[in-house]
Each structure stands twice: as structure tokens, then as C-alpha cells.
Structure 1
Amino acid sequence: MTVNLGSLDRRIRVVLGALLLILPFISGMAIFESGAITAVSVIAGLVLIGTSAMKFCPLYRVFGIRTCKL
């Protein structure tokens, strides 16, 4: 795997991933009353944090996008 995520992109992914992980449990929003929506939110948050930690996004590779400097 080659690195294709830049530092700003990684920071944004960590913040959004953390929000998606935390929001269903502390927000009390009606949208998260459904178990399916909560599961999707948690999975998306984990994927965002995981891709940030690995510095690699498979979709970026498919579309030929690189946000990192070489």
C-alpha cells in the first residue's frame, strides 16, 4: 500500500470518524433511534479512523487521488 492521504485529510477523517462514533450514543437525536443507522454511523466512523491511521484510502487509489506530498 502506498501512502495517498495527506496530513490535513487525515485530521479531517479522524475528527469526522470520532463524531460518527460518539454522536449515536450521546446526542439523543431521533435519527439514531434506529439500530441500523447507529450501526452504519459506527462502521463509517471506524473506517474513517482506520484509513487515517493507515494513511491509505482504497477509494482514492481507484480514482487516482493523492492528497499527500511526495
Structure 2
Amino acid sequence: MTANVGTIDRILRAAIGAVLFYLAFLSSLTLFATPLFKYSAAVIGVVMLATSTLKICPIYSVLGLKTCREC
């Protein structure tokens, strides 16, 4: 697979992933005390961090989108 995630997109994905991971495991909000929200936020956070690191988004590939200029 070729890279399809640009720099700004990667930064935003990494920030959102880190925030979701923080909310899931380190925050004391009552919403994230329930397992459904806690683990959903953790999984989405890990996916966001992974797509940011790998520069590949499977959904972008299916839709034919690219946010990188180098690709």
C-alpha cells in the first residue's frame, strides 16, 4: 500500500489518538468509567496513532483520497 496521509493529517490524527488514549485510561471522567466508552476510545485512539505512524489510512484507500503532496 502506498502512503495516503499527509503531514497535517498525521499531526491531527496523532493528537486525537493521544487524547482518546488519555481519556480512556488516565482521566477521571465518569463517561469513560464504563467499559464500552473506555475501550472504544482506546481502540479508536490506537487506530488513529497507527494510521498516523504508518501514513496509511485504509478508508482513504477505499475512497481514493490522499492528503499528502509527496504521494
TM-score (norm 1): 0.93
Task: Provide the residue aligned with 1:32 in structure 2.
Answer: 32
In 2, Cα distance between the equivalents of 1:18 and 1:33? 18
Equivalent AA in structure 2 for residue 44 of structure 1: I
Residue 17 (str. 1) matches residue 17 (str. 2): yes
TM-score (norm 2): 0.92
Length, aligned pairs only:
70
In 2, Cα distance between the equivalents of 1:21 and 1:30? 15
CA-based RMSD: 0.9
Task: Provide the residue aligned with 1:55 in structure 2.
Answer: 55
Structure 1, unaligned stretches of length 5 or more?
none
Structure 2, unaligned stretches of length 5 or more?
none
Identity across the alignment (%):
37
Equivalent AA in structure 2 for residue 21 of structure 1: F
Stretches of 4+ moved more than 3 A in 1? none
